[in-house]
Amino acid sequence: MDLFLDKGFEATTFDDIAAAAGISRRSLFRYFGTKEDIVLFHLSGEGPQAAAALAARPDDEPLWTALLNVMLLIEDHGGDPARLLKISEMMYGTPSLRARSLEKHLQWQADLLPEVKRRLGTTSGDLQAAAVIASALACMDAAGEAWTRAAGTVPLGHLLTDAFDAMAQAAR
Protein backbone atom coordinates (compact mmCIF):
# COMPACT_ATOMS: atom_id res chain seq x y z
CA MET A 1 0.00 0.00 0.00
CA ASP A 2 2.89 2.35 0.75
CA LEU A 3 4.08 2.00 -2.85
CA PHE A 4 0.66 2.94 -4.19
CA LEU A 5 0.38 5.89 -1.83
CA ASP A 6 3.92 7.14 -2.56
CA LYS A 7 4.08 6.58 -6.33
CA GLY A 8 0.40 6.64 -7.23
CA PHE A 9 -1.72 3.76 -8.43
CA GLU A 10 -0.92 4.03 -12.13
CA ALA A 11 2.82 4.55 -11.64
CA THR A 12 3.23 1.52 -9.35
CA THR A 13 4.16 -1.60 -11.31
CA PHE A 14 3.92 -5.30 -10.54
CA ASP A 15 7.74 -5.34 -10.57
CA ASP A 16 7.76 -2.64 -7.87
CA ILE A 17 5.31 -4.60 -5.74
CA ALA A 18 7.11 -7.92 -6.18
CA ALA A 19 10.45 -6.33 -5.26
CA ALA A 20 8.98 -4.66 -2.16
CA ALA A 21 7.38 -7.95 -1.09
CA GLY A 22 10.59 -9.89 -1.75
CA ILE A 23 8.92 -12.33 -4.11
CA SER A 24 9.02 -12.95 -7.83
CA ARG A 25 6.58 -11.31 -10.19
CA ARG A 26 5.30 -14.79 -11.04
CA SER A 27 4.59 -15.55 -7.36
CA LEU A 28 2.76 -12.24 -7.04
CA PHE A 29 0.51 -13.21 -9.97
CA ARG A 30 -0.38 -16.47 -8.21
CA TYR A 31 -2.09 -14.44 -5.49
CA PHE A 32 -3.28 -11.34 -7.34
CA GLY A 33 -4.47 -10.98 -10.91
CA THR A 34 -4.58 -7.19 -10.93
CA LYS A 35 -3.19 -4.22 -9.04
CA GLU A 36 -6.78 -3.42 -8.06
CA ASP A 37 -6.98 -6.78 -6.29
CA ILE A 38 -3.87 -5.93 -4.28
CA VAL A 39 -5.24 -2.57 -3.12
CA LEU A 40 -8.67 -4.00 -2.32
CA PHE A 41 -7.54 -7.31 -0.85
CA HIS A 42 -9.00 -6.38 2.55
CA LEU A 43 -12.52 -6.25 1.06
CA SER A 44 -12.55 -9.97 0.32
CA GLY A 45 -12.95 -10.88 3.99
CA GLU A 46 -15.42 -8.16 4.84
CA GLY A 47 -18.44 -9.80 3.17
CA PRO A 48 -18.36 -12.93 5.34
CA GLN A 49 -17.53 -10.71 8.34
CA ALA A 50 -20.60 -8.57 7.60
CA ALA A 51 -22.79 -11.67 7.23
CA ALA A 52 -21.59 -13.05 10.57
CA ALA A 53 -22.10 -9.69 12.26
CA LEU A 54 -25.64 -9.44 10.84
CA ALA A 55 -26.48 -12.95 12.03
CA ALA A 56 -25.25 -11.97 15.51
CA ARG A 57 -27.56 -8.91 15.71
CA PRO A 58 -30.73 -9.37 17.80
CA ASP A 59 -33.65 -10.78 15.82
CA ASP A 60 -35.96 -8.08 17.17
CA GLU A 61 -33.74 -5.29 15.82
CA PRO A 62 -35.25 -3.84 12.63
CA LEU A 63 -33.36 -5.08 9.56
CA TRP A 64 -32.38 -1.61 8.33
CA THR A 65 -31.02 -0.71 11.78
CA ALA A 66 -29.16 -4.01 11.97
CA LEU A 67 -27.59 -3.39 8.55
CA LEU A 68 -26.53 0.11 9.61
CA ASN A 69 -24.94 -1.28 12.77
CA VAL A 70 -23.09 -3.90 10.71
CA MET A 71 -21.86 -1.28 8.22
CA LEU A 72 -20.71 0.95 11.08
CA LEU A 73 -18.74 -1.98 12.45
CA ILE A 74 -17.19 -2.75 9.05
CA GLU A 75 -16.38 0.91 8.33
CA ASP A 76 -14.62 1.32 11.68
CA HIS A 77 -11.26 0.29 10.25
CA GLY A 78 -9.26 1.98 12.96
CA GLY A 79 -5.76 2.90 12.00
CA ASP A 80 -4.28 6.20 10.96
CA PRO A 81 -7.08 8.51 9.67
CA ALA A 82 -4.66 10.39 7.37
CA ARG A 83 -3.55 7.11 5.77
CA LEU A 84 -7.15 5.93 5.40
CA LEU A 85 -8.00 9.22 3.70
CA LYS A 86 -5.11 8.81 1.22
CA ILE A 87 -6.29 5.29 0.43
CA SER A 88 -9.85 6.51 -0.02
CA GLU A 89 -8.73 9.38 -2.27
CA MET A 90 -6.80 6.90 -4.40
CA MET A 91 -9.78 4.57 -4.61
CA TYR A 92 -12.37 7.22 -5.46
CA GLY A 93 -9.93 8.97 -7.82
CA THR A 94 -9.00 5.88 -9.83
CA PRO A 95 -11.86 4.63 -12.02
CA SER A 96 -10.56 1.06 -12.21
CA LEU A 97 -10.22 0.87 -8.42
CA ARG A 98 -13.66 2.33 -7.90
CA ALA A 99 -15.20 -0.17 -10.31
CA ARG A 100 -13.37 -3.10 -8.72
CA SER A 101 -14.44 -1.92 -5.27
CA LEU A 102 -18.07 -1.89 -6.34
CA GLU A 103 -17.61 -5.33 -7.89
CA LYS A 104 -16.22 -6.69 -4.63
CA HIS A 105 -19.15 -5.19 -2.75
CA LEU A 106 -21.46 -7.12 -5.05
CA GLN A 107 -20.01 -10.26 -3.51
CA TRP A 108 -21.36 -8.97 -0.21
CA GLN A 109 -24.82 -9.33 -1.74
CA ALA A 110 -24.32 -13.09 -1.95
CA ASP A 111 -22.77 -13.19 1.53
CA LEU A 112 -25.59 -11.23 3.18
CA LEU A 113 -28.50 -12.65 1.14
CA PRO A 114 -29.37 -15.69 3.30
CA GLU A 115 -29.54 -13.70 6.54
CA VAL A 116 -31.43 -10.78 5.01
CA LYS A 117 -33.93 -13.21 3.46
CA ARG A 118 -34.37 -14.90 6.83
CA ARG A 119 -35.01 -11.58 8.53
CA LEU A 120 -37.48 -10.50 5.85
CA GLY A 121 -39.47 -13.72 6.28
CA THR A 122 -39.90 -16.95 4.41
CA THR A 123 -42.15 -15.44 1.73
CA SER A 124 -39.58 -12.92 0.61
CA GLY A 125 -37.63 -13.72 -2.50
CA ASP A 126 -34.11 -12.90 -3.55
CA LEU A 127 -35.25 -9.67 -5.24
CA GLN A 128 -36.45 -8.02 -2.05
CA ALA A 129 -33.40 -9.09 -0.05
CA ALA A 130 -31.01 -8.09 -2.85
CA ALA A 131 -32.67 -4.66 -3.11
CA VAL A 132 -32.28 -4.05 0.63
CA ILE A 133 -28.61 -5.09 0.56
CA ALA A 134 -27.89 -3.02 -2.57
CA SER A 135 -29.44 0.00 -0.88
CA ALA A 136 -27.27 -0.48 2.21
CA LEU A 137 -24.13 -0.84 0.08
CA ALA A 138 -25.06 2.26 -1.92
CA CYS A 139 -25.36 4.17 1.36
CA MET A 140 -21.94 2.92 2.39
CA ASP A 141 -20.39 3.98 -0.92
CA ALA A 142 -22.08 7.40 -0.89
CA ALA A 143 -20.90 8.00 2.68
CA GLY A 144 -17.35 6.95 1.80
CA GLU A 145 -17.26 9.29 -1.16
CA ALA A 146 -18.68 12.18 0.90
CA TRP A 147 -16.09 11.49 3.64
CA THR A 148 -13.33 11.61 1.04
CA ARG A 149 -14.62 14.84 -0.53
CA ALA A 150 -14.79 16.38 2.95
CA ALA A 151 -11.15 15.33 3.50
CA GLY A 152 -12.18 13.27 6.50
CA THR A 153 -13.41 16.30 8.45
CA VAL A 154 -16.81 14.72 9.12
CA PRO A 155 -16.79 11.33 10.88
CA LEU A 156 -17.55 8.54 8.43
CA GLY A 157 -19.98 6.98 10.90
CA HIS A 158 -22.07 10.17 10.91
CA LEU A 159 -22.19 10.24 7.11
CA LEU A 160 -23.14 6.58 6.97
CA THR A 161 -25.92 7.13 9.51
CA ASP A 162 -27.15 10.16 7.54
CA ALA A 163 -27.22 8.11 4.33
CA PHE A 164 -29.15 5.28 5.99
CA ASP A 165 -31.56 7.78 7.55
CA ALA A 166 -32.15 9.41 4.15
CA MET A 167 -33.04 6.05 2.62
CA ALA A 168 -35.33 5.17 5.53
CA GLN A 169 -37.09 8.54 5.22
CA ALA A 170 -37.44 8.17 1.44
CA ALA A 171 -38.98 4.72 1.89
CA ARG A 172 -41.79 6.06 4.08
Angle at the Cα of 104 from the Cα atoms of 98 and 107, rounded to 5 degrees:
150
Q: Are 71 and 65 in contact (CB under 8 A)?
A: no
Residue 45, pLDDT score: 81
The pLDDT of residue 169 is above 80: yes
Q: Are 46 and 108 in contact (CB under 8 A)?
A: yes
pTM of the model: 0.88
Q: What is the CATH number of domain 40-171?
A: 1.10.357.10
Could you tell me the pLDDT band of residue 15, with boundaries at 50, 70 and 90?
A: very high
Q: What is the CATH number of domain 1-35?
A: 1.10.10.60
The tens digit of pLDDT for each residue in 29-51 reads 888 888 998 888 877 788 899 99
d(Cα 169, Cα 77) in Å, to the nearest integer? 28
Backbone angles phi, psi at 95, to 5 degrees: -55, -40
Residue 166, pLDDT score: 97
The tens digit of pLDDT for each residue in 84-107 reads 899 999 999 999 999 998 888 888
Residue 136, pLDDT score: 96
Average of per-residue pLDDT across 108-132: 89
Residue 103, pLDDT score: 87
Provide the residue ranges of all domains of the chain, joining segments of one domain with +.
Answer: 1-35, 40-171
Which amino acid is present at 62?
P
Cα of first residue to Cα of last residue in the chain, in angstroms, is: 42
